[in-house]
Amino acid sequence: MAIYKILFGTYTKRISKGLYEAELDTDSKQLKNPTFIGELKNPTYLAISKANKVYAVENRDGQGGVVTLDNSVRPIAEIDAQLSEGSAPAYIGVDEERQLVFAGYYHRGTVESYSIQADGNLVLADTWQNTGSGPRPEQTSSHVHFSNLTPDQRLVAVDLGADEVITFDVDAQGGLSEVSRFHTEEGFGPRHIRFSPDGHYAYLLGELSSLLSVLKYHAEDGSFEHVMTASTIPSDWTEHNGSAALRLSADGRFIYASNRGHNSIAVFKIGNEGSEIERIQLISTEGAFPRDMNWDNKQEFLVVANQDTDNVSLYARDSDSGELSLLQKDFAIPEGVRVVFEY
């Protein structure tokens, strides 16, 4: 039997107070012991470093940025805050090798890199600003929604507002140098990206289009090339949907996307050495507006947070078929957005 601890980042617009923690009991196959562990305002995204520091987004007195938290104590303890005028980031990535943190700012259209100091505090290293727009109402300006590493240790930023994926070289101090720029189809609204285990392909999720694209990644110059696209929702779905989270199985055989509106998880089978995807399952999230989802290190269980209905759903994952089956649907976490397993 194993007990996994899970952190939940949330919005604090209605009833949530900040960060929560729970446990997954793999013996009973149930989530249990939801616990409030730290007050923050709208900590919608967070990442955990190997040094057990939590880097979380925070809004405070008209400023936004990244706070550093000591995850070894409860309640969780703040040790640093890197805040500046404006809204908070939408995404945080950790570069363990270079000891950097990357933040993608949705409303500012920027990527910031921070150097991790010996005490875990952050120092701003570089800021990159994008411009651009798209045809949809949500695309009036640049909206960076993802900033994390490629398999070959470049940085990739996904801009929902400008329909772009931008690749950077990163120096040891956190300096960013743009090397390539990929444009999706107009109105695709890219949100998140994952890479195949061999690094040859990437899977790009379109929030605004409810589409998942396969891209060929060219490591020699950091460029991307479109291969194919599939829908995350049924062809007859006419109500609003926004795709959100994207998870790729460690064996590279299956990829999972959450649908906010259709309120489902779309499961895709990956074939032809990573270049083809086929949707094989749509399963209800048993709640409204599913955001992030994550799994244990064996990828036997998937945990999905439903923001609008304040519940978390738990699924078993069949590693052979890739399909999900519901185990639990009424686990209470308020305004859940981010799901992170602690190790």
Residue range 148-157: average pLDDT? 98
What integer pLDDT is reported at residue 165 of this predicted model?
A: 98
Omega of the bond prior to 75 within 30 degrees of 0, cis?
yes
Read off the pLDDT band of 1 (50, 70, 90): confident
Q: In what order do the strands lie in the sheet with 155-159?
A: 144-149, 155-159, 164-170, 176-183
What integer pLDDT is reported at residue 343 of this predicted model?
A: 85
pLDDT of 6 higher than 80:
yes
What integer pLDDT is reported at residue 281 of this predicted model?
A: 98
Residue range 72-94: average pLDDT? 97
Phi/psi for 212 (5° steps) reads -120, 120
pLDDT of 316 higher than 80:
yes
How far, rounded to the nearest angstrom, does the alpha carbon of residue 53 sit from its chain's CA centroid?
18
* Residue 286: HSE in the Cβ half-sphere, 13 Å Cα cutoff: 16
pTM of the full structure: 0.98
pLDDT in tens, 318-342: 999 999 999 999 999 999 999 999 9
pLDDT of 257 higher than 90:
yes
What integer pLDDT is reported at residue 51 of this predicted model?
A: 95
Residue range 186-191: average pLDDT? 98
What integer pLDDT is reported at residue 154 of this predicted model?
A: 98
Domain parsing of the chain, residue ranges:
44-231
Q: What is the mean pLDDT of the chain?
A: 97
Residue range 144-156: average pLDDT? 98
Read off the pLDDT band of 119 (50, 70, 90): confident
Quote the percentage of the chain above a pLDDT of 90.
Answer: 99
Answer for the pair 310, 15: CB distance below 8 angstroms, yes or no. yes
DSSP result, 165-228: EEEEEE-TT--EEEEEEEE-STT--EEEEEE-TTSSEEEEEETTTTEEEEEEEETTTTEEEEEE
SS3 content of the chain, % helix, strand, coil (to 5): 0, 60, 40
> How, if at all, do strands 77-85 and 3-10 pair?
unpaired
Q: What is the DSSP letter of 31?
A: E
What integer pLDDT is reported at residue 120 of this predicted model?
A: 86
Mention every residue, 6+ apart, whose C-beta is less than 8 A from residue 198. 252, 274
Record: fold of 44-231 = Methylamine Dehydrogenase; Chain H (2.130.10)
Residue range 97-113: average pLDDT? 98
